[in-house]
């Protein structure tokens, strides 16, 4: 692309305009660490997700900022530890509560990139508030196709509620018809396929402008639902739940393939950075996922809750087929986007620009420490370069995490000096944090009692 600008001599010259890269973030939901080909999955095949790894880098120690959906997404989309702004719980479905979701003090990655003239879209799960003031179209996204709740039914025939006014209980929202911006639509496809289709449509439409696409699949989050097209790929998996989960991951994988093919066909793949990650670890009993060899599961601060499949491609910029073994976190995506788009964030960030690290230019560590807090359980975790500490009432854990990926050997009693050092880091960090600003999923009943009109829809578009 060319435009006219003043040369140093004062003459108008034809000069190439350096366009910042397109940015694509593909987020899966509750996918286990083990359940991608690039981590050696034995039963689930993800050839397209693996293409991202082969085209770029696997971050083997890729973390998210929380062990369940909502707070993890709030961190991802703001580049900040979500407890800094009171997002310490999974929000409830409460369309008339403007405080139930991402506070307006926060700048989203889409708000940020709008300042650099990006076209922006979110396809899939929002989960950052259902009040009109918190709608994706008000949070920097030009386009939204998906749902506001924390999960959804996958088969179109199950989408029987015409809008949120028909929601009478928290999980009813899973049955609402999908939204295209603020309008309800009649979707005909299996949800994962629909989200892939919309993502590809957006890329085609915006191929000439820098764009930001946040493709937030709810798969493979429960309910376990897959079509025969995907189930038929796994006749050998005997456990019907694991088979359905595998099929759901396979549907995502097809979508990822469609997106990569589209970028290549349009010849914009070399000007597009693609991130792939899961929002938290697999909830192994709920969706038959696997976090092997990690200990624990979704909602834990063991690695199985917070370490996720994480890969990044940018052909020509990030060396292909590499592995990056220092800890990185989902919060880094925002900071990387800000650097690539050359735009100043509104708020102080906790992430860092990953590009110098992923290209090998900077051999250091992106972070000296990473932090987690579960306010309701009064639990903290701190990751240093080689160690990890978890502290909760009456129990401490300390692991040499680099050497003990499965967190088998608790050194808390043996090495109290290291333990206390990491605890003091948590105490310092905690001073920057706010108490949760809203009641969460585990306080559903209490919230309904104090907010009897919680499902009342506010019409203000």
Residues 140-179: x/- map of binding to Ca ion (CB under 5 A)? Answer: ----------------------------------------
What character string, x for contact with Ca ion (CB under 5 A) and - otherwise, covers 186-225? ----------------------------------------
Q: Which is nearer to Ca ion, 56 or 283 (CB)?
A: 283
Q: At what angle do helices 47-55 and 240-265 cross, to 10 degrees?
A: 50
- Is 39 considered catalytic here? no
How far, in Å, CA of 298 to CA of 409, rounded? 21
* Helices 240-265, 191-205: crossing angle, 10 deg rounding: 10
Min dist CB 70 to Ca ion, Å, is 8
The nearer residue to Ca ion, 73 or 367, going by C-beta atoms, is 73
Q: How far apart are CA 256 and CA 199, in angstroms?
A: 10
Q: 29 or 303, CB closer to Ca ion?
A: 29
CB of 357 to Ca ion, least distance (A): 26
Cβ nearer to Ca ion, comparing 30 with 198: 30
Helix (H, G, I), strand (E, B) or coil at 125: strand
Q: Mask 386-425, x = binds Ca ion (CB under 5 A)?
A: ----------------------------------------
How far, in Å, CA of 186 to CA of 250, rounded? 24
- Give me the least distance between CB of 254 and Ca ion, in Å please: 21
Binding pattern to Ca ion, positions 224-263, x when CB under 5 A?
Answer: ----------------------------------------
CA dihedral of 62, 66, 68, 71, whole degrees rounded to 10: -120
What is the DSSP secondary structure assignment for residue 207, as one 8-state letter? T
Contact yes or no for 83/434 (Cβ under 8 A): yes
Return the residue matching tokens 């401490």: 396
Q: For residue 421, with 0-12 CB atoms within 10 Å meaning exposed, 13-18 middle and 19 or more buried, which class applies?
A: middle
Q: Which residue out of 39, 127, 152, 367 is catalytically annotated?
A: 127
3-state helix, strand, coil in the chain (%, to 5): 30, 20, 50
Near Ca ion by CB under 5 A: residue from 143, 198, 279, 387: 279
Which residue number, 30 or 407, has a Cβ lying nearer to Ca ion?
Answer: 30
Q: Report yes or no: 188 and 150 within 8 Å, Cβ to Cβ.
A: no
User: Is 29 a residue that touches Ca ion (CB under 5 A)?
Assistant: yes
97 counts as binding Ca ion under rule CB under 5 A: no
**Cα 80 to chain centroid, rounded:** 13
Active-site residue, 131 included: no
Measured from the CB of residue 413, what is the shortest distance to Ca ion in angstroms? 33
Cβ-based nearer residue to Ca ion, 30 or 50: 30
> How many binding residues for Ca ion (CB under 5 A)?
5
**Least distance between Ca ion and beta carbon 73 (Å):** 8
| 148 phi, psi to nearest 5 deg | -90, -15
Report which residue's Cβ sits closest to Ca ion.
69
Which among 22-30, 141-149, 317-325, 367-375 is the span making contact with Ca ion, rule CB under 5 A? Answer: 22-30
Q: Residue 21 or residue 304: which is nearer to Ca ion going by CB?
A: 304
CB of 81 to Ca ion, least distance (A): 18
Residue 31 Cβ vs Ca ion, minimum distance, rounded to whole Å? 8
Which residue in the block uniquely carries the two structure tokens 């989203």?
A: 108
Of 30, 142, 143, 193, the one binding Ca ion (CB under 5 A) is 30
**Across 318-378, where does the E strand assignment appear?**
322-324, 328-329, 370-374
Report the nearest approach of Ca ion to the CB of residue 152 (Å).
12
Residue in this structure with the two tokens 């650099």, named with its chain if needed: 116
Tell me: does residue 280 bind Ca ion (CB under 5 A).
yes
Select from 23, 26, 58, 69 the one that contacts Ca ion (CB under 5 A): 69
Which residue lies nearer to Ca ion by CB, 275 or 314? Answer: 275
Write the DSSP assignment of 7-62 as a string of letters: -TTSSEEEEE--PPPEEEEEEESS--TT-SGGGT-SS---HHHHHHHHHSEEETTE
Q: Is 248 exposed, middle or buried (0-12, 13-18, 19+ CB in 10 A)?
A: buried
Q: Does 300 bind Ca ion (CB under 5 A)?
A: no
What is the binding site for Ca ion (CB under 5 A)?
Answer: 29-30, 69, 279-280
What residues act catalytically?
A: 69, 127
């Amino acid at each position: 692309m060319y435009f006219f600008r003043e040369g140093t001599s004062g003459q108008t010259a034809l000069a190439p305009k350096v366009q910042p890269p397109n940015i694509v973030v593909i987020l899966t939901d509750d996918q286990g660490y083990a359940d991608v080909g690039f981590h050696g999955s034995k039963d689930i095949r993800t050839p397209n997700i693996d293409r991202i790894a082969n085209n770029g880098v696997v971050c083997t120690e890729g973390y998210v900022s929380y062990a369940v959906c909502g707070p993890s997404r709030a961190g991802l989309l703001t580049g900040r530890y979500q407890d800094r702004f009171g997002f310490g719980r999974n929000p409830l479905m409460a369309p008339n509560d403007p405080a139930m979701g991402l506070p307006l003090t926060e700048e989203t990655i889409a708000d940020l990139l709008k300042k650099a003239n990006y076209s922006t879209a979110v396809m899939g799960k929002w989960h950052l508030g259902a009040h009109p003031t918190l709608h994706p179209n008000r949070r920097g996204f030009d386009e939204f196709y998906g749902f506001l709740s924390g999960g959804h039914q996958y088969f179109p025939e199950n989408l029987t509620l015409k809008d949120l006014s028909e929601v009478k209980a928290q999980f009813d929202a899973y049955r609402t018809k999908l939204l295209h911006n603020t309008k309800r639509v009649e979707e005909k496809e299996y949800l994962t396929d629909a989200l892939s289709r919309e993502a590809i449509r957006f890329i085609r439409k915006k191929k000439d402008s820098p764009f930001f696409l946040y493709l937030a699949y709810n798969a493979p989050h429960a309910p376990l639902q897959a079509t025969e097209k995907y189930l038929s790929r796994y006749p050998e998996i005997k456990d019907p739940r694991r088979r359905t989960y595998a099929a759901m991951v396979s549907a995502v994988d097809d979508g990822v393939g469609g997106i990569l093919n589209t970028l290549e066909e349009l010849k914009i793949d070399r000007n597009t950075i693609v991130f792939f990650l899961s929002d938290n670890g697999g909830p192994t009993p709920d969706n038959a996922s696997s976090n092997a060899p990690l200990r624990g599961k979704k909602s834990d601060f063991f690695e199985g809750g917070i370490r996720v499949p994480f890969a990044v491609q940018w052909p020509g910029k990030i060396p292909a087929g590499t592995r990056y073994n220092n800890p990185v976190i989902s919060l880094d995506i925002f900071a990387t986007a800000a650097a690539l788009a050359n735009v100043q964030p509104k708020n102080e960030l906790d992430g860092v620009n990953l590009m110098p690290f992923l290209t090998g230019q900077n051999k250091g560590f992106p972070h000296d420490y990473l932090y987690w807090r579960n306010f309701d359980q009064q639990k903290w975790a701190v990751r240093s370069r080689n160690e990890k500490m978890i502290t909760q009432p009456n129990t401490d854990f300390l692991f040499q995490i680099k050497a003990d990926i499965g967190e088998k050997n608790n050194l808390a009693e043996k090495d109290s000096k290291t333990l206390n050092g990491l605890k003091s880091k948590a105490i310092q960090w905690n001073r920057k944090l706010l108490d949760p600003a809203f009641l969460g999923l585990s306080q559903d009943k209490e919230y309904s009692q104090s907010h009897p009109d919680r499902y009342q829809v506010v019409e203000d578009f």
